[in-house]
């Protein structure tokens, strides 16, 4: 119980990726006096039987990435294949999502190869992902112009752009690519893609972008930015309100909490409005959960890969402890 409480103080259980929480709870459940031995054994088997599939996928992706990295000379790109795959597993867990994990991990590299992996009745969906990534490049350009001009936007002006450049809205349609149910039928519909990419941005997606931006900027502020970086939401808040860094970080953290309330409320509202959109909304919530893990404790686990080393090892390599 003490371990669960400690984790919940870092990331509330409702915000923790289910796969990681399951991995931890299996060993904790074993130590409960009233645990059911059959349930425990089935849980261990379920976790251990899926792990070889994760390792097989990771091997396939590693070979693909190394070939691409060497042949195209991607010296400018961060070598974060394992971290990207860890991210994918935290969103899509289970055998039926194998193709979705592969697609999501490759998303930043090769749209054509992603499209080839889709079934004929799914290929229409690629246009949504391409469009959102084109739009994201426009937001990057706006930020680059701000940096070049040494322009300090207002907090609201900054957030309107930077929540979009966070990548969350661009990933929204990518999450839905190739997702199929246990019967092999497409689990996401054209209606879901239209909703995820609608203008104005759906409240759930916008809140996810705000969460990603606030946590990223808080981590960057604590680490320290380079001279060429534009002002962050933390710095814009400091300049606009005339407050110090500590107060600004606390205010941005409170806004991240508000974003979570919106995410949860909108997920429930979407399910009530149209049950067909609920699978898509739940995937958006899963993406938000992974953001919490990546930036846990004010770190940037994607930029500084060593911060995730323990979790990656626990998930893919280390045997479950036996008590």
Q: Give a yes or no: residue 323 inside a domain.
A: no
Instruction: Please give the tally of structural domains in the chain.
Output: 1
As a whole number, the mean pLDDT across the chain is 86
Q: Nearest Cα to 212, choosing from 298, 107, 160, 288? A: 288
**What is the pLDDT confidence band of residue 74, given thresholds at 50, 70 and 90?**
low
Q: Is the pLDDT of residue 292 over 60?
A: yes
Burial of 249 (0-12, 13-18, 19+ CB in 10 A): buried
Residue 162 to residues 37, 137, 140, 168, 255, Cα–Cα distance (Å): 49, 12, 8, 10, 14
**Under 8 Å between Cβ of 281 and 262:** no
Q: How far apart are CA 40 and CA 323, in angstroms?
A: 12
Mean pLDDT of 36-45: 94
The CATH code of the domain that includes 8 is 1.10.600.10
**What is the pLDDT confidence band of residue 111, given thresholds at 50, 70 and 90?**
low
Q: Give a yes or no: residue 83 inside a domain.
A: yes
Mean pLDDT of 80-98: 85
pLDDT score of 296: 84
The helix or strand, by DSSP H or E, that contains position 249, with its residue range, turns out to be: helix 245-273
**What is the pLDDT confidence band of residue 225, given thresholds at 50, 70 and 90?**
low
pTM of structure? 0.84
Residue 217 to residues 72, 76, 163, 251, 263, Cα–Cα distance (Å): 31, 22, 11, 12, 19
Burial of 111 (0-12, 13-18, 19+ CB in 10 A): middle
CA angle at 145 for the pair 142 and 146, rounded to the nearest 5°: 90
Q: Give a yes or no: residue 279 inside a domain.
A: yes
Mean pLDDT of 297-314: 76
**What is the pLDDT confidence band of residue 87, given thresholds at 50, 70 and 90?**
confident
Q: Give a yes or no: residue 182 inside a domain.
A: yes
pLDDT score of 183: 55
**What is the pLDDT confidence band of residue 138, given thresholds at 50, 70 and 90?**
very high
Residue 157 is part of which domain span? 2-316
Q: Is the pLDDT of residue 227 over 70?
A: no
pLDDT score of 277: 92
Q: Give a yes or no: residue 123 inside a domain.
A: yes
**Under 8 Å between Cβ of 203 and 266:** yes
Q: Give a yes or no: residue 321 inside a domain.
A: no
Q: Give a yes or no: residue 322 inside a domain.
A: no
Q: Give a yes or no: residue 152 inside a domain.
A: yes
Question: Which residue's entry shows tokens 């080393």?
Answer: 309
């Amino acid at each position: 119980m003490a371990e669960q409480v400690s984790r919940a103080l870092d990331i509330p259980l409702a915000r923790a990726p289910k796969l990681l929480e399951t991995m931890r709870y299996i060993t904790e459940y074993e130590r409960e006096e009233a645990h059911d031995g059959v349930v425990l054994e089935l849980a261990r088997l379920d976790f251990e039987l899926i792990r070889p599939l994760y390792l097989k996928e990771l091997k396939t992706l590693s070979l693909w990435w190394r070939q691409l990295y060497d042949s195209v000379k991607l010296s400018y790109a961060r070598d974060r294949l394992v971290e990207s795959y860890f991210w994918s597993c935290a969103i899509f867990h289970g055998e039926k999502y194998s193709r979705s994990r592969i697609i999501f991990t490759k998303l930043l590299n090769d749209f054509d190869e992603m499209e080839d992996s889709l079934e004929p009745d799914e290929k229409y969906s690629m246009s949504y992902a391409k469009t959102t990534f084109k739009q994201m490049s426009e937001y990057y350009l706006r930020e680059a112009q701000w940096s070049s001009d040494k322009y300090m936007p207002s907090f609201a002006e900054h957030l309107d752009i930077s929540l979009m450049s966070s990548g969350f809205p661009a990933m929204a349609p990518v999450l839905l690519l190739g997702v199929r149910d246990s019967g092999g039928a497409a689990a996401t519909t054209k209606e879901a893609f239209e909703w995820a990419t609608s203008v104005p941005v759906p409240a759930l997606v916008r809140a996810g972008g705000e969460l990603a931006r606030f946590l990223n900027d808080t981590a960057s502020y604590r680490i320290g930015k380079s001279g060429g970086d534009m002002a962050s939401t933390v710095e814009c808040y400091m300049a606009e309100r005339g407050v110090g860094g500590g107060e600004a970080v606390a205010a941005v953290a409170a806004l991240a909490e508000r974003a979570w309330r919106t995410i949860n409320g909108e997920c429930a509202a979407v399910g009530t409005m149209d049950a067909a959109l609920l699978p898509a909304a739940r995937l958006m919530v899963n993406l938000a959960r992974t953001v919490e893990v990546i930036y846990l404790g004010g770190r940037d686990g994607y930029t500084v890969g060593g911060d995730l080393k323990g979790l990656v090892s626990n998930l893919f390599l280390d045997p479950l402890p036996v008590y």
